[in-house]
Amino acid sequence: MQSIASKNKKEGQWSSNSVYHTFRHELGHSLQNEHELNDANWLKKRSEIENIKNSLEKELTNLSDSDKMKLKKAKLSKYGFESVDEFISESVAEYANNPIKARTTAKSVVEILL
Ligand SMILES: [Zn+2]
């Protein structure tokens, strides 16, 4: 399991190299459901997170496919850019793995959730 996790992180599919990555990622989706049901400010928070994703995607404009992948990997993960939901879940998984070492994208998204 560790070798699969390490490979997925190295290739940029995952935002962390933890064996718990998938579990934490899915927990991120559950957290989104929880906020959607019980957080009166959810739409505002989700919109703020979407703005972070959109501004990162603007940096991707005019880059080669290879450089786009590198930037997605450097900012979060390739999978995290599939949709806002995956962007949030990949951020939660990275932050849960190590809140101190989490990169700016993951920290910013989790700060908005909290
Ligand atoms: Zn997901």
Task: Let me know if residue 21 belongs to a domain.
Answer: no
Rounded to the nearest whole angstrom, what is the distance from the C-alpha of residue 50 to the centroid of ligand 1? Answer: 16
Quote the domain boundaries for residue 65: 40-114
Task: Let me know if residue 92 belongs to a domain.
Answer: yes
pLDDT value, residue 88: 98
Task: Let me know if residue 84 belongs to a domain.
Answer: yes
What is the rounded average pLDDT for all residues in the chain? 96
* pLDDT, tens digit, 9 for 90 and up, residues 15-64: 999 999 999 999 999 999 999 999 999 999 999 999 999 999 999 999 99
Task: Let me know if residue 49 belongs to a domain.
Answer: yes
For 94-101, which contacts have Cβ atoms below 8 Å and span 24 or more sequence positions? 94/15, 94/16, 96/20, 96/24, 96/27, 97/16, 97/17, 97/18, 97/20, 97/21, 97/24, 98/16
Task: Let me know if residue 75 belongs to a domain.
Answer: yes
Rounded to the nearest whole angstrom, what is the distance from the C-alpha of residue 86 to the centroid of ligand 1? Answer: 5
Task: Let me know if residue 104 belongs to a domain.
Answer: yes
Task: Let me know if residue 30 belongs to a domain.
Answer: no
Rounded to the nearest whole angstrom, what is the distance from the C-alpha of residue 67 to the centroid of ligand 1? Answer: 23
Rounded to the nearest whole angstrom, what is the distance from the C-alpha of residue 11 to the centroid of ligand 1? Answer: 17
User: Domain tally for the chain?
Assistant: 1
pLDDT value, residue 67: 95
